[in-house]
Structure formats: C-alpha cells, structure tokens
C-alpha cells in the first residue's frame, strides 16, 4: 500500500528525479504545490511546458533562446569577430552580468569528459569550427572552467582552430578579486606568479 494517493506519489517521484532533491525534499515540495491556489499550480505546470516547447538553441551560437536567433547574436552592436567559447548557458549569463564583453558567444553544452563518455561529437564543437571556417572571426576566447575537463576541451578546440590562423586565447588564471592570499591554493598562486604583469 502506498502512503499517499497515486497522483501525489507521482508528483513526489517527479520532484525526486530532479538533481539534488531527495525523497523528503520532494515530499515537502509536492505538498507545497498541493497547497498552492489552483492558478499558481497551473502556472507552474505551464511554465514547464512553455519553457520546454519554446526554448531551443540559437542556430548561430547554440545559446538558449525562445526567438529565432538569440538576443546576443541579434544585437548589431556586438562585435561578431570575437567569439567567447563557454560550456553552458549559465557561464554565458555570468559574462553578460559583468557587462564588459562586447563580442559574441559559442555555447558547447558540456565539456569533454572521458570518464562520463562525453566526447567531442557530443558537444557543439563542429558548429564552432564552421563559424570560424566561414571567416570574419578574429579571435576565439576559450572561457571553459579551469579544471581538467575545461582545459582538455579548450586544448582540443584550439588545435582544431589553429589551421584557420585565428587568434585563440584563454582567460587569465590568478588570484580572484577580494580573496585572501592566505587561503589561495598552490596551483593558483603558481599561475598568478607566472602571469604577473608590470604595474
């Protein structure tokens, strides 16, 4: 005998299948949804349907969009000759929040990870190479996370781009602003020293 009516068990299962949500949290969330006014609960369900139906990848940069082309690629004021390559739409959002970068992006939708059987063909790498091959690109900035998977993917892509004679750069490694040297890890300190600049 199940402890809750079937539709409720079903909703708990749905929540529990989300990443980072355990059985108890899923129960709490499901009860919360049940306690919502009818309109709010329906709005939640419709938000899922609408997002799933209308959000797709931008055919140019693979960023998520609900339009034909994403807002960055559509913007005439952006410098289309500089492409910043990121792993996820979330990373792109971080750059946009800083309001400093005026080029365009390319979202890989993941990073190469042999451990998880994710190879280059599982990422949007061929789309990036096609953009570079089409010309008009001056610089490709590799902005993947500074870890094994990020570095491996950046290295792999930079080799593919080399034949096109386009400048490939990567983000500077170093001490993050506002941090404490006492707690900086050795690898970061070494890279910060190596990359030191004249004042």
Please state the closest distance from residue 50 (CB atom) to a copy of itself, in A.
5
Residue 86 CB: number of other CB atoms within 10 A?
25
If one asks whether residue 145 binds a copy of itself (CB under 8 A), the answer comes out as no
Of the candidate residues 23, 32, 138, 159, the single one contacting a copy of itself (CB under 8 A): 32
Please state the closest distance from residue 10 (CB atom) to a copy of itself, in A.
5
What is the spatial distance between Cα 134 and Cα 166, in angstroms, rounded to a whole number? Answer: 12
Of the candidate residues 16, 22, 31, 158, the single one contacting a copy of itself (CB under 8 A): 31
Q: Which of 71, 72, 94, 69 is nearest to 82 (CA)?
A: 72
144: buried, middle or exposed (CB in 10 Å: 19+, 13-18, 0-12)? buried
- Write phi, then psi, for 66 (nearest 5 degrees): -110, 0
Of the candidate residues 22, 23, 45, 187, the single one contacting a copy of itself (CB under 8 A): 45
**Segment lying near a copy of itself (by CB under 8 A), choices 28-36, 150-158, 162-170, 177-185:** 28-36
Please state the closest distance from residue 24 (CB atom) to a copy of itself, in A.
9
Look-up: residue for tokens 């781009």? 161
**Segment lying near a copy of itself (by CB under 8 A), choices 9-17, 114-122, 164-172, 190-198:** 9-17
Q: Give Cα separations from 72 to 19, 39, 49, 79, 80 (angstroms).
A: 29, 34, 25, 10, 10
Residue 70 CB: number of other CB atoms within 10 A?
24
If one asks whether residue 74 binds a copy of itself (CB under 8 A), the answer comes out as no
What is the spatial distance between Cα 11 and Cα 175, in angstroms, rounded to a whole number? Answer: 45
Structure tokens given for 84: 């910043």
Pick the closer one to a copy of itself by CB: 19 or 135.
Answer: 19
Of the candidate residues 23, 42, 59, 133, the single one contacting a copy of itself (CB under 8 A): 42
| Helix axes 125-133 and 148-161, enclosed angle (nearest 10) | 30
Of the candidate residues 69, 80, 96, 160, the single one contacting a copy of itself (CB under 8 A): 96
Residue 118 CB: number of other CB atoms within 10 A?
15
If one asks whether residue 178 binds a copy of itself (CB under 8 A), the answer comes out as no
Contacting positions for a copy of itself (CB under 8 A): 1, 3-8, 10-11, 13-14, 18-21, 25, 27-34, 36, 38, 41-55, 64-67, 70-71, 88-90, 93, 96-97
């Amino acid at each position: 005998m199940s402890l809750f009516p079937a539709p409720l068990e079903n909703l708990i299962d749905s929540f529990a299948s989300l990443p980072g949500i355990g059985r108890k949290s899923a129960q709490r969330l499901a009860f919360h949804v049940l306690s919502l006014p009818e309109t709010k609960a329906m709005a939640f369900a419709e938000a899922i349907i609408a997002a799933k139906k209308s959000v797709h990848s931008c055919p140019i940069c693979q960023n998520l969009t609900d339009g034909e082309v994403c807002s960055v690629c559509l913007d005439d004021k952006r410098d289309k000759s500089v492409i910043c390559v990121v792993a996820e739409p979330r990373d792109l959002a971080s750059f946009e929040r800083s309001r400093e970068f005026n080029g365009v992006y390319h979202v890989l939708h993941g990073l190469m990870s042999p451990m998880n059987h994710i190879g280059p063909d599982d990422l949007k790498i061929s789309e990036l190479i096609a953009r570079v091959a089409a010309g008009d690109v001056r610089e490709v900035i590799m902005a993947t996370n500074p870890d094994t998977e990020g570095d491996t993917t950046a290295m792999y892509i930079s080799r593919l781009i080399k034949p096109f004679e386009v400048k490939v750069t990567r983000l500077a490694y170093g001490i993050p602003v506002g941090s404490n040297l006492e707690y900086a890890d050795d690898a970061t300190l070494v890279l910060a020293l190596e990359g030191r600049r004249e004042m």
